[in-house]
Amino acid sequence: MSSFDPLDVSRTKVTANGNQEGSQDLFAAYQVKLENDELHIPAFFIESTAPDNLDDKTKPLEEPPSCERLPSVQAAIDRIAGQLAQQEEPKLVFTVHGFNSPRTAVLQSFTRSFLSVNNDTAIRKRGVVCVGYRWPSERMLRPFWSGYSAAPFFLIGMVFVALGIAGLVNFEFNLYAIPFWWRILITAVIALMAGIPITLFLLRLIVYFRDQYRALTYGVPDLVDIIRLIDAALETAFKDAGRAGTRADLSFIGHSMGGFVVTNTVRILSDVFSPFSPPPKTEAKGTSLQEQAKDLDKRSEIGKAFRLRRLVLVSPDIPAEVLMSGRANALRSSVERFEEAHLFSNEADEVLRNISTTANFFMLPTKRRMFGYRLGNVGVLTPSYGITKGLTDPSGHVALDKLQVGYKSLADLYTRLGSDQFQAGTAQRFTYFDCTNSISDAGIGVVSAAKRGKPTDLSSIGHLVLLARYVAGGPDVHSGYFADNFVGSLIYRFACIGYGDSEQAYNGFEVFSAACKDHQIKALRN
């Protein structure tokens, strides 16, 4: 009987008669190779080979441009571990994309990320190794043609019955000879029977829930296995280099639904029965941020060779409830293990504010829309641009009047909740960078229609206009952060070298804050 290897990353192909025919890797791995530019920082691209549809035939993936296909996942794991073991202060940074991200778009985004990090002199020679991780996501509207073949017979039957009733009424009866109330009833029945299948079909086309399923079913478990494999190989590499017991920094950049993938991955990797896992606390027994930091080093250690360092969430598609709830959730249990956590948000992110909140309307258990916003829409309520110190007061409590979700401050939301189960423990773990009105060096809005000296319109009509402009190819309100600009460099620097070293790279707090002010960013930190 063969033994079961929990870290086996290959699957065996089984023929119709039950025979096994070799194996195929669950991941494909590549190392970034630049022809014209010197690569100062090792970079890799790893993607899950899970298909878009579970009944698709698996096909070999084409080699991405500027990449060298590695012969196997194990070869990639060994090469990543070898690169990290050579660094004096090894740092592994994973970048994870969001929903509605087909392979070509992900490759382009990751290429820009690698080039930005590679060209940043503040990050070079700091022991950084980058990995772009792709989980199976697809472009909106793509599942159009499979809508009929995948639909249950019940939904198809509802459409045909609705069409049958409509045809019968039109051809067999004189519609206007039917009493008024009967006409209303017949119209309502037809609209309901046809409307439900059409609505579900449209929800299928936006691929939000399809991507959410793939993120949870494939994206998270595959990323867990990749990190476990690297951890095992890195422990061996450190021993071979005479550095047994060394730990590498493990950091993440999670964009949109990628933030959901990252936080759930860390939650799985973290052992809840570890003696260093923080127990649940009530408001009465809460501890200050300084007290919580005493055992942070131990809580940050995962596996045999990693230490969780920095979590950078960019417009995360996560309910904003996580900032208020004292109950256990994936974000809280994850963020408490990182030494640093940074949130880049945009109040004008119409993808989250309109599309995501609408898609989650029938799932999120809330009675009022003010509690239905996403974490990526958090705003900073400071009077001016730049970095403001004072996220928490001397007693360690969060200044709730300095953060906004939707149209209400956190202070207002806490007052309306009026329940002891809601606490601010998670909120104080982040530094906040509100990029709503951020501009590039050229004075053009990064994630909105803002201009230098002119903030974007955040009225109800303004949001609708911005959504229309985004759909028409206007400002990239959801992914514009990663363009080659000041905001993008902040994201990569925070993930690679941390807030403190990033501040020093800008020659101290005052200069750094002035740079944020010049680019119309509102930041809030302790």
pLDDT tier, 21 (very low <50, low <70, confident <90, very high otherwise)? very low
Give me the residue spans of the domains in the chain: 27-141+208-350+383-398+420-525, 143-205
pLDDT of residue 172: 63
pLDDT of residue 175: 62
pLDDT of residue 369: 86
Residue 112 and residue 108: Cα distance in Å, rounded? Answer: 6
pLDDT tier, 350 (very low <50, low <70, confident <90, very high otherwise)? very high
pLDDT of residue 424: 63
Q: How many CB atoms lie within 10 A of CB 67?
A: 19
Burial of 199 (0-12, 13-18, 19+ CB in 10 A): exposed
pLDDT in tens, 469-482: 998 989 999 999 99
pLDDT of residue 395: 67
Spatial CA neighbour of 85 closest among 132, 127, 38, 39? 127
pLDDT in tens, 139-161: 988 898 898 899 999 999 998 98
Mean predicted lDDT score pLDDT of the chain: 86
pLDDT at residue 342 above 80?
yes
Sequence-distant (6+) residues with CB within 8 A of 112 are: 482, 483, 484, 488
Average pLDDT over residues 210-232: 94
Average pLDDT over residues 52-77: 86
pLDDT of residue 20: 35
pLDDT at residue 448 above 50?
yes
pLDDT of residue 22: 36
- Of 53-57, 164-168, 464-468, 471-475, the poorest mean pLDDT is in 164-168
pLDDT in tens, 122-139: 999 999 999 999 999 999
pLDDT tier, 413 (very low <50, low <70, confident <90, very high otherwise)? confident
Provide the greatest CA pair distance for the chain: 92
pLDDT of residue 512: 97
The string of DSSP codes covering 53-83 is STTSPP-PPPPPTTEEE-S-HHHHHHHHHHH
pLDDT at residue 2 above 50?
no
Could you tell me the pTM of the whole model?
Answer: 0.90
| Contact assessment for residue 465 and residue 426, using Cβ atoms and an 8 Å cutoff | no
For residues 288-299, b (16+ Cβ closer than 10 Å) or e, as one string? Answer: eeeebeeeeeeb
Report percent pLDDT > 90 for the chain. 53
pLDDT at residue 19 above 60?
no
Measured CA distances, 440 to 110, 381, 466, 488, 521 (Å): 20, 22, 18, 10, 11
Average pLDDT over residues 193-207: 91
Better-predicted residue by pLDDT, 161 or 295: 161
